[in-house]
Amino acid sequence: MEKVCMWVCLCVFVCASVCGDEEDQHPSSSSNSSGPVRVQSLAPPSCLKATSIKQVFKYINTGLSLVIFVVGVVGNGTLLRIICQNRSMRNGPNALIASLALGDLLYIAIDLPINTYKLLAMRWPFSDSLLGLFLCKLVPFLQKASVGITVLNLCVLSIDRYRAVVSWSRVQASGVPIATVVQILLIWASSAALAVPEALGFTLVSFSYNNVSMTTCMLRPTTPFLNFYRSAKDWWLFGFYFCVPLLCSAVFYGLMTCEMLQHRKGSLKHILSEQLRQRREVAKAVFSLVVMFALCWLPLHLSKLLKNTVYQSHDARRCDQLNFFLVLDYFSINLATINSCINPIVLYFVSRKFKNCFKSCLCCCWYPVSLSNSVLHQGTSLPYRTSDP
């Protein structure tokens, strides 16, 4: 997401390195906290054909962003309301799901409108003021923090499902355990800490092209650590923010499958059949969230790694690749953004209890009060005896 600015600039300028990440040898002014950095880059050979985004693509992208915004705000907001207001839904796994939804909601409400404005206006909002600099640091910080919250929550949920199956005969009381609260606090603190380099490295950068001055938000390292972070960033994001949750889910779901197969052969398989059924349903819901995360984020990571390994910024034949990566970037970014609004939809289709709660919460105007209450409590057997949603 942090390279959106670079590719938006390509709509106006013919080469990528005009707003690239390379250090400049002779900047006309140094970085400061009150204004953008002025840079003068050594441009590569010009493309024979200008690289640009057509107007129709902008409007399609804007329409998709609007749909994601509405669905994400309504879906994640409803999910938070369901978990907060219904006592039977307040438990450990649902608290982690609420944490994931809150992270998605923050990203959708703040980052998505700014990115859409940036695409339509072709410039960074409030770029001539301190507010613009603050937004330049806030947007990438929230984006990385939101992804970190998603990744760590999915890992903890996978571990929690395995523990629930291992302790399948244990019946827990209703409520959110203190251990889960501590886990959520650690998840948010760790995600924020891992996103700090984004806030430190991103700044407003001004440059000129054809005597036209432009300002954009981009990663501009000023310390050896930030230089190292920039050089290793794409591989770090792919390894930690993509491979780790998939590996964690694969390991613990494999162990959980083996455990369930052993219980199926045991003599007590019918004693707690309802509790085991509920835990299988939650496990299926968490697994579905992991699968959707992988499908939504894989194209963006592929795009970044391909640019690192295939694209050469000073190759005169690079322009066809540049057009391809320009379209692939926006497609991948939109798909990754969809992940922020799709989790409530996934839960609606794979969890009977969440489906009933969503119906009660969203469709109350079509249901009488008594029917709405009955729908809410359908499928919530053992509401105060198990920690599963």
- Among 118-127, 219-228, 242-251, 287-296, the least confident range: 118-127
pLDDT (tens digit per residue) in 246-269:
999 999 888 887 776 665 555 445
Residues 367 and 308 in one domain: no
Say which residue, 116 or 188, is predicted with more confidence: 188
Cα–Cα distance for residue pair 387/389, rounded to 1 Å: 7
Read off the pLDDT band of 276 (50, 70, 90): low
Per DSSP, the residues of 174-194 read: SB--HHHHHHHHHHHHHHHHH
Asked whether residue 35 is assigned to any structural domain, the reply reads: no
One domain for residues 370 and 323:
no
Residues 376, 273 share a domain: no
- Flag whether 209 is in a domain: yes
- Pair (121, 60) in one structural domain: yes
Question: Residue 69: which domain range?
Answer: 4-21+51-349
Give a yes or no: residue 28 inside a domain: no
Say what the pTM is: 0.77
Average pLDDT on 174-191 reads 91
Rounded CA-CA distance 289/130 in Å is: 38
Average pLDDT over residues 5-33: 37
Mean pLDDT, residues 297-312 = 82
Residue 266: the pLDDT is 52
Q: How many domains does the chain have?
A: 2
pLDDT at 120 over 50: yes
The verdict on residue 41 lying in a domain is: no
Higher pLDDT, 141 or 117: 141
| 220 shares a domain with 151 | yes
Average pLDDT over residues 296-300: 90
Most confident of 171-180, 213-222, 289-298: 289-298
Helix (H, G, I), strand (E, B) or coil at 32: strand
Domain assignment present for 197:
yes
287 in any annotated domain: yes
User: Which regions of 70-226 does DSSP assign to beta strands (E)?
Assistant: 202-209, 212-219
Is the domain of 309 the same as that of 362? no
CATH code for the domain in which residue 218 is found: 1.20.1070.10
Q: Per mean pLDDT, which of 24-28, 141-145, 373-377 is the most reliable?
A: 141-145
Please say if the pLDDT value at position 13 is more than 80. no
Whether 198 maps to a domain, the answer reads yes
* Same domain, yes or no: 239 and 357: no
Q: Is the same domain home to 344 and 355?
A: no
State residue 386's pLDDT score: 41
Tokens 């199926």, residue?
A: 264
CB 361 within 8 A of CB 86: no
- Which residues, other chains included, contact 46 with Cβ-Cβ below 8 Å and sequence gap of 6+? 14, 15
pLDDT in tens, 217-257: 888 888 999 999 998 998 999 999 999 999 999 998 888 87
Alpha-carbon distance of 334 to 331, in angstroms, equals: 5
- pLDDT tier for residue 150 given thresholds of 50, 70 and 90: very high
Supply the pLDDT for residue 176.
Answer: 85
Sign of CA dihedral 84, 249, 187, 182: positive
Looking at the structure, tell me whether residues 368 and 314 fall in a common domain. no
Residues 337 and 356 in one domain: no
pLDDT at 23 over 90: no
Confidence of residue 160 (pLDDT cuts 50, 70, 90): confident
The residues, ordered by sequence, that sit 6+ positions from 207 with a Cβ below 8 Å of its Cβ are: 18, 19, 38, 39, 40, 41, 213, 214, 216
Higher pLDDT, 28 or 118: 118
pLDDT, position 382: 35
Same domain? For 374 and 266 the reply is: no
Mean pLDDT of the 13-36 span:
38
Residue 293, domain member (yes or no): yes
Same domain, 67 and 139: yes
- Tokens 């489906």 -> residue: 355
